[in-house]
Amino acid sequence: MPELPEVETVRRGLAPVMEAKRILRADIRRPDLRWPFPPDMAERLTGKQILRLRRRSKYILADLDSGETLIIHLGMSGRMQISGSATGTFPHDLPTPAKHDHVVLDMEGGKRVTFNDARRFGAMDLVATANVEAHKLIAHLGPEPLGNAFNQEYLADRLKNKKTPIKSALLDQGIIAGLGNIYVCEVLFRTQIRPETRSDFLSKDRIERLVPAVREVLSEAIESGGSTLKDHRQADGDLGYFQHSFRVYGREGLPCLTEGCTGTIQRIVQSGRSSFYCAQCQR
């Protein structure tokens, strides 16, 4: 599933095509994805201007001049793809929607944005912009890891009574919004913390190292266009390439990349997810 860097990369790619532009035509090609689409979705989108395109956790939010916000979740395999020309493309010049092109938005300026989702685990909803933070998909989310509300004091307070492994705590969307399995593995490696370590056993110094490491890993991944393992593509179709910078994720049995370390990367399963780490570097 796309994590925060992949979603932010897609948002940045879509912004020049969608922000301050009107949706000239919305073609909703099926009644649902993971859940049913909201009533009259095509009519509620057609003719509306997108005032701002933002991200909350793993969701893209398109604020419309109608006072509603389109919530977009990419699911497991969803892609937002841009096609067409900015020089006034005619409708017949645009590609015929493919089998898994479920939502097609023809934008002011000649571009087309298509939501393609072969596995249909994605989702879209429309909600009053003023009520976005109360939406069922968003209300439970913790602070953004790249925002000011996520800091050492906050994290220490949330972890002090947590008896779960630190890997599980960092994946808890109610504690930090948007972190997923790949980037938590990389963060724990950089901070030399084993994934099984109980959260309430972490010292103040170790917690203080976590916050900048989270920011660094996510920022580097965003600048690299995210990580492409199977399905992720940027909005222009390019692959992400942060996977080439993985220090532990997916490297089971390979030598640790830390200079002077003679260990190999190990894998354990926690709550059904693979955790990769170096037993010599991480304690």
Residue 92: Cβ-neighbour burial (10 angstroms; 0-12, 13-18, 19+): exposed
Active-site annotation holds for 2? yes
Q: Which residue in the list 25, 44, 54, 273 is annotated as catalytic?
A: 273
Residue spans of beta strands (DSSP E) within the chain: 23-28, 50-56, 59-64, 68-73, 79-84, 101-107, 111-116, 123-128, 265-270, 273-278
Could you count the other beta carbons within 10 Å of the beta carbon of residue 269?
A: 8
SS3 36: strand
230 as an active site residue: the answer is no
144 is catalytic: no
Q: What is the rounded distance in angstroms from the CA atom of residue 215 to the CA atom of residue 211?
A: 6
Residue 216, token pair as written in the block: 């660094």
Helix (H, G, I), strand (E, B) or coil at 45: helix
Catalytic choice (21, 22, 48, 58) = 58
Distance CA 52, CA 257 (A): 41
**Given the residues 2, 5, 165, 195, the one annotated as active site:** 2
* Residues catalogued as catalytic: 2-3, 58, 273
